[in-house]
Chains A and B, each alone.
Chain A
Amino acid sequence: MKSVTRLWIAAVLLAVIPSLGRAQQTRRVTGHVTVQGGTEPIPGVTVQIVGTTLGATGDEAGNFSVSVPAGAQQLRVRRIGYTAKIVPVGANETTVTVSLNRDVLQLETQVITGQATTVARANVANAVTVVNTEQLNKVPQQTIENALQGKVPGAVITSNSGAPGGGIQLRLRGTNTINGNYQPLYVVDGVVVDNSAFGNGLNSITGAGGAISSNQDQQVNRIADLNPQDIETIEVLKGPSAGAIYGSRGANGVVIITTKKGRAGTPTLNVVQRFGTTAVSNTLKLRCFTQAQATDYVNANTPGGFTGATDYFAANPYAGCTDAQNQLYGNKGLSYETSASLRGGTADGNTTYFTSAGVKHDAGITSTDGYDKQNLRINLAQQFGSRINVSANTEVLHTLTKRGISGNDNNAINPLDVISGTPSFYDFSRKVGGVYTINPWAVSGANVLQNQQAIQTPEDVFRMIGSSQARWSAVASSRQTLDFSLLGGVDSYSDQALVYSPSFTYLEQSGVISPYPGTVARGNTNVTNANLNLNATHKLITSPFTATTSLGLRQSRSQVNNVFNQGLGMFPGVTNVATAIQTAVNQAQSLTKSFSYFAQEELLTADERVLLTGAINAERSSTNGDAHAFYAYPKASISYKLPWLPPATDNLKLRLAYGKAGNTVPVNFKYTFLTPLLESGVNGLRQGAQIGLSNVKPEQTTEVEGGFDASFFGGRAGLEVTQYEKKTTGMVLTSGLAPSTGFTTKVINGGTMRNVGTEVGLNLVPIQTGMFTWTSNTTFSANRNKVLSLPVPAFATGSGFSERFGSYKIQSGYSATQVVVFSGFDSTFDANGKYLRRARHELHIGDQNPDFQMGFSNNFTLGKLSVSSLLDWRKGGYAINLTNNYFDFNLAGSSFADTTKAQARGNAFLAGQPVYAEHASFAKLRELTVSYDLGQSFAQHFLGSHAKDLRIEASGHNLFTWTNYTGYDPEVSNFGNAPIGRTQDVTPYPPSRQFFLSLNATF
């Protein structure tokens, strides 16, 4: 391997050495860049001499200095967020002044097209969405996925519940896989970061699944750890045609996150202080009882331990119509966030730095839940001479999540489960002798307020994401450059979860969890992702074309060790598992290694109107059946900016892209395991339920996308239209076997799945006057999935509870994410009319995914006042509302206020009708912000002479939801993130809305 690398480097060097050392006469040109129509400097501009590789970067005050060849030249001045401008510099000129227009349509954004290359968005051949820091942070967001909702065409971003701390799934351009990795690849400053989700051990008290922890633990996927405020841009490559260079992890798209970096010039300090609160945004309407009705109810349904209403009400006074949801979820605690960042560098730009620190607390809608984060980032870069640059980016963070109890349970412990079976004339908040009363209506005796106060669910994550990069500019002439870069990155975190249910609760005393009161579950998960990238990039600029050649190799490693310990019979207040009466342990571990080579060629020609790209990535992985075999993932694309344009059209670019990417084989799918079964001190073994595939290959997803980007009316309107088709072949299926064979599934490579979709982005500046500007961004996307072929009989997959409620089935000719439900019965009678049996019809009711979604983002600026909003509309899709099933059945006559409707629904269900599969359409006002810029003089008056700006903002998140869905929230997933089967609604954590008041000061 090493020898191959050395040969490869040598070959590249030899190819370019003839061009070394050709120097030219130069002069120094300095300049100052401001916003068009004003004096506000634009910091950090990039200046490039047209037709050459030469350039420089401006400082924080908008100044730049660049070495320019003799004679008249042209400078291309650009900055993200502004429209680039080409400025002529006369042969004798040494100073220039440049003003740039704001780039509302983002045409000048640089898009990362390879491991080490970028190209202007105006030329790129894919529909790549770039979201900048301003768009991300208009409203305080818990996670970056929250921040992306409604802003990326083709991305379906769905929360799993309203619990604090995250738990969100981002899916790009439909579902590509059934069993493989279904999430996009996240890359932060070149480091592949982990987005796994681990349970916290909640299952140890809910009994929802097996083992100590399960996928019903209401997990948080760990991309939630990243701090949105540190991010400069998020670039979303939506499919293989753009992300093929990422090989076997690019099939689901790639989210490339670039953090803020230092800039030359005096340091800029930015301080943000936010205060806010969170409030439950939806509760169910519960049934009320008059005292007479309550008496009748108790007499007819006397709970155990009582003889009738008289002694019941003597012990539990009639409490009127109490809403336990409000008692439990009525908290409106203080949320706050303090963050500060310092950005700067030496005047010559040789040393730059960006450092930030933050403290954040989000209150939950119960008084004991919440989310805390502390983060510290340092990004440093040092230029050594003219050829070597070394940089390091490091973030250390800690999060503490307390999410309480929600989701499925089998121990009558989930608050909504308990509430559904407890009539509203029982008051959970009543205390006798300072102690909450036992709930006589729950088999567990559970008092939801006692549980909320007593049961602890803290999950601490300590994480470090760091990378170091060295760049060597081996060749730097006016016509060509050759750069080598070596990047090593590590993402490592420790996830320490605790679930502690003390012995004194009625729940524990009832024995529903175990006969030993006092339960503790401790999860200890260590995850390390590491990657090492070596790249060589050669750029050749000639008059007919600019050719960018890049070669590289990448090695990556992913290691997971997940250990859970459970203790039963804990002393009060003690959480040391070693003191338990009974203990149990679970462990899961994996180590995956992969290695890849890649090569890419970009050709920008025809007066920069045509961009041709070709690339190939060859990769092997230890999870493949043949761990040594390389699989090739090519891509090719072309974009063409038309030279002749219709009236009122500024630019019109046609684009076409093709790419193939893989999807990593899930760990251990090549093995057939034995299942350990202990008995009488002997470690017994039997064959596992799944037959592995020893020569399993990664799935291959091929994508073709085409479309056009156009801008009109001098940058006042932009339209992007994209159509794509993706086909996944050789799917890694765990196809269902007849269980009578002794196996339930077998791993196969087979079948074909297709996703076809449309994405539209419309950006408008309807009004732009001196004082008032209105910008509007509208996104539309729709995706249709279909299983084109399946080499095995249709089989059930995904997580669910039964086809009677609604579940998921892989079936040729249908969407892979279809929801199937049993609907009604066929009764069979014999010749004498005697009833024999009933069978159910299977109904293909719809899809878990929406038919389409749209995002409407509007920003109104009147002088220093700015108002922005984001509306997210999702049409279609089905959720399985089992929460209604609880409330329909758990109180005689239903616990819903509308008992008639609930009883009718319950009876229809018992008659076999699919009443719990519901349309999940909704529209949500995701963001609303009112911002006022108080200006420099005001800032200096209050904050001192160093202050440059002070802005005040009032903002809200998820303020309103319009939906016909009858549950808490159509955004729901009892099983957390999953490619299929993520729409089960089982007594979830209710949704909430957040309000914030922010002060943003710059020094």
Chain B
Amino acid sequence: MKKYIAAALTSTLVLASACQDNPTSPSRDNVVAGSQQSLQSLVTGITAQDRVNYGGYYLWGGIMARDAIVPTSNESRFVTEFYVTPPDPSDFIGGSQWTGYYQLLRASQLLLKDASFTSLSTADQAATRGFVRTVDALSYIRLIDYRDQNGVVIQGPDATVQDPIRTKQAVLTATSALLDSALADLTAGSATLPVALPSGYSLHGDYSTTANLILLNRGLKGRVEVMRALDPVAPNAASAAAAVTALNIALAGAPTPMTQDYLNRGPWYQYNPASPENAPNPIPGSANLVTDNFVNSFLPGDVRALNVVPASAPTVSGFTASHRLKMTDPTNAALQSAPLPIVRNAELLLLRAQAEIATNDLVGATRDVNAVHTVEGGLPAYSTFTSSADAISKLLYEVRYTFAYLGPQHIVALRNYGMFNLAYVTQPGMPNKGAADPLVQSLPITLNETNARNGNITPVP
């Protein structure tokens, strides 16, 4: 195996020079070793892959939490795999949200070994490495978001080695350490990266500077520590405080009163449907609808309800819906290039609120929940939460409506708080709440991964 990798990645220069079959795509040696162009291409390869991975990340979690529903005649599995049977590990649902992240992680590892990287100054190397490892950590977070206790693989340096599937706890611990390592690099690195980051990184704040990338890094650190603190299987007692610490750095300078501009700050994905990029915003879809419960659960006066519009859909296996969010309208051409957040401050505030609830700081939690509740919901501020349960209830409302069609944060939060009862919603055709309801809480390990391991996918610590 090693020889295949080595031969493939190092000797293609020789082969390509003798190439007689006019290859369609560039081989690795076509990137001029050590040049600025090479480093830029390899870094862009990582950020672009991250954007590709988001193409499935945004959707499944919403369906799992039963906020989103996709009834379409040409693919009944959008409903049957979530409401009737578990997702199939061999298909486009159960097999998704896996491979792309590991392609990104391998691309990162190859970049850090590439001559175009090692020839940089120490400070530029540090800045680049800090950025790349922060993006790596984001990939691990998203992997765990969907696989949860099924565990995921921590990719090692050698592509010829099949690394074990690790428990969620082990992965979060490693991801936390990875972010700390990246922080050290960003701190020691040049003020600006030696490469340009995608335009979305400077759409809401300039996240191409190491100073702001540190904010991103700490935000993700907070996310990881919240996941560790609220892990229902093995909660880590120290993580809640660590999350608060990290998120305080990420949210330093938050304005009072809160502004929408601040809530939106963070790196975003910028989409461009035009050729040659051909990367439209993935969310618009004719059948990308929302459940009745989602539509009917808005608090009176919540301005986010204005984003809900009627829509028609077929009845597929007994499931249907009648509303969509405006952001999913397939006929709105402007949405094709609408940016989507990678991480924004609104998410960090709600993460800090979770950490504060875990540390019994209900004042802080109220402040942070209200920051989103009042600005994005246009609703009057809550009084200080009276209990953790009260705080969690209010928090989950904001999580649900802040991340609708943007990711799995709602199902992750429901999982963390053991509150799946909130996902047993009433919808034509949906199973009744109870033991017979196969509520999908996580995606399985993909069949290709399982086959390659001869079926052994038990995670190890």
Q: Which residues does A use to contact B, with CB under 8 Å? A: 301, 303-305, 408-412, 414, 417-418, 420-421, 440-444, 509-512, 514-516, 559, 581-585, 587-593, 622-623, 625, 627, 667-668, 670-689, 691-695, 736-744, 746-748, 793-796, 801-804, 807, 809, 822, 835, 837-838, 840, 885-886, 889-892, 906, 910, 912
Contacts and interface: CB of A to CB of B under 8 A. Distances in A.
Given A511-B286, A685-B41, A739-B98, A910 B84 contact: yes
A22 to B, nearest CB: 48
Contact of B279 (A678, A809, A837, A910): A678
For the complex of A and B, 4 pairs with smallest distance between CB atoms? A304-B312, A742-B106, A684-B44, A511-B330
B42 A672 contact: no
A181 to B, nearest CB: 14
A510 B330 contact: yes
A502 to B, nearest CB: 16
Interface string B1-23: 10011011101100110111111
B178 interface: no
A803 B452 CA distance: 16
Contact of A412 (B74, B95, B446, B453): B74
B91 interface: yes
B169 to A, nearest CB: 18
Residue of A420, A511, A685, A840 with highest tally of chain B CB at under 10 A: A685
Given A510-B330, A742-B103, A515 B42 contact: no
B155 to A, nearest CB: 6
B92 to A, nearest CB: 8
A674 B27 contact: yes
Contacts of B159: 691, 741-743
8 contacts: A671-B8, A673-B23, A679-B51, A741-B106, A742-B105, A802-B91, A804-B91, A886-B76
A683 B4 contact: no
A685 B21 contact: no
B25 A686 contact: no
Contacts of B9: 672, 687
Contacts of B234: none
A562 to B, nearest CB: 9
Nearest to A747: B4
B286 A443 contact: yes
Contact of B47 (A589, A674, A684, A737): A684
A795 B8 contact: no
A588 B24 contact: yes
Given A739-B102, A744-B448, A803-B88, 4 more contacts: A411-B74, A673-B28, A684-B47, A838-B438
B48 interface: yes
Interface of B: 1, 4-5, 7-9, 11-12, 15-16, 18-28, 30-31, 40-49, 51-52, 71-77, 80, 84-86, 88, 90-92, 95, 98-99, 102-107, 109-110, 152-153, 155, 159-163, 165, 196, 198-200, 270, 272-279, 284, 286-287, 310-318, 320, 322, 329-333, 335-336, 435, 438, 446-449, 451-454
Contacts of B46: 684, 686
A682 B95 CA distance: 30
B328 to A, nearest CB: 10
Given A695-B7, A738-B448, A912-B85, A680 B199 contact: yes
B232 to A, nearest CB: 13
Contacts of A890: 73, 76, 314, 316
A379 to B, nearest CB: 33
B155 A677 contact: no
Contacts, number: 322
A801 B91 contact: yes
A582 B27 contact: no
Contacts of A683: 41, 44
A886 to B, nearest CB: 7
Nearest to B7: A694
A685 B26 contact: yes
Contact of B453 (A301, A738, A744, A748): A738
A751 B438 CA distance: 41
A891 B315 contact: yes
Contacts of B84: 910
A684 B107 CA distance: 11
Nearest to B435: A835
Given A421-B314, A802-B88, A743 B18 contact: no
B8 A736 contact: no
B72 A740 contact: no
A443 B73 contact: yes
B252 to A, nearest CB: 28
A622 B331 contact: no
Count chain A CB atoms within 10 A of each CB in B49, B287, B332, B452 and give the residue with the most.
B452
A944 to B, nearest CB: 57
B18 to A, nearest CB: 6
Contacts of B162: 738, 740-741
A687 B103 contact: yes
B86 to A, nearest CB: 6
Contacts of B448: 736, 738-739, 744, 795-796
Contacts of A679: 44, 47-48, 51, 198, 270, 277, 279
A803 B438 CA distance: 20
A544 B46 CA distance: 75
Contacts of B49: 677, 684, 686
A444 B8 contact: no
B330 A442 contact: no
Contacts of A559: 22
A840 B447 CA distance: 11
A795 B452 CA distance: 7
Count chain A CB atoms within 10 A of each CB in B24, B44, B314, B454 and give the residue with the most.
B314
A678 B48 contact: yes
A916 B269 CA distance: 40
A589 B23 CA distance: 7
A418 B107 contact: no
A412 B75 CA distance: 9
A693 B4 contact: yes
A635 B23 CA distance: 34
B409 to A, nearest CB: 23
A495 B389 CA distance: 67
Given A674-B31, A679-B277, A804-B90, A684 B452 contact: no
Given A676-B25, A804-B90, A685 B45 contact: yes
Given A694-B15, A890-B73, A671 B90 contact: no
A736 B104 contact: no
A581 B333 CA distance: 11
B38 to A, nearest CB: 8
A44 to B, nearest CB: 44
A742 B310 CA distance: 42
B335 A590 contact: no
B71, B73, B160 pick with most chain A CB within 10 angstroms = B73
Contacts of B196: 680, 682
Contacts of B200: 680
Contacts of A592: 20-21
B203 to A, nearest CB: 11
Nearest to B23: A668
Contacts of A680: 44, 196, 198-200, 270, 272
Nearest to B153: A740
A440 B88 contact: no
Contacts of A585: 275-276
B292 to A, nearest CB: 14
Contact of A793 (B73, B435, B454): B454
Nearest to B95: A802
A627 B19 CA distance: 9
Nearest to B160: A741
B23 A671 contact: yes
B452 A686 contact: no
Contact of B48 (A625, A677, A801, A838): A677
A677 B45 contact: yes
Contact of B275 (A418, A584, A627): A584
A515 to B, nearest CB: 4
